[in-house]
Amino acid sequence: EITGHPAGITQLQRVGIGLVLSAVSMAVAGIVEVKRRNYALAHSPLAPGGISLFWLSFQYAIFGIADMFTLVGLLEFFYREAPAGMKSLSTSFTWLSLSFGYFLSSTLLRTH
């Protein structure tokens, strides 16, 4: 036990790591998009080569790890720290906010 905590790190540290990794994922997405845009402006649409689709895997991998840290940390935090009457409600709010975020994301992508 390097940290002295039975689970390794606390629930809020997990959430914090997840949020930092989410920001890193967005930064990676921005860098890849700038590279893609610069290539597209410099070359004709029919030019061979370009940026591979697999460059997107970095941002998705980082975001998947971030999502895992955040959700696991939140659910564990609510399960251990919330009063007995609030455990189900706080857990449902976690899933509700996640589903609302995914719905909003898909709605924004569909309209543009």
Other beta carbons less than 10 A from residue 18's beta carbon: 20
Sign of CA pseudo-dihedral 61, 67, 68, 73: positive
- The pTM of the whole model exceeds 0.85: no
CB atoms within 10 A of CB 34: 10
Residue-wise pLDDT tens digits, 5-34? 777 788 889 999 999 999 999 999 999 999
Q: What percent of the chain has pLDDT over 70?
A: 95
Q: What pLDDT score was predicted for residue 112?
A: 58
Low pLDDT (below 50) residues in the chain? none
Q: Give the per-residue pLDDT at 10.
A: 87
The beta-strand segments (E) located in 1-112 are none
Q: Where are the domains of the chain?
A: 11-44, 51-81, 86-111
Task: Compute the C-alpha angle 68/61/9, nearest 5°.
Answer: 35
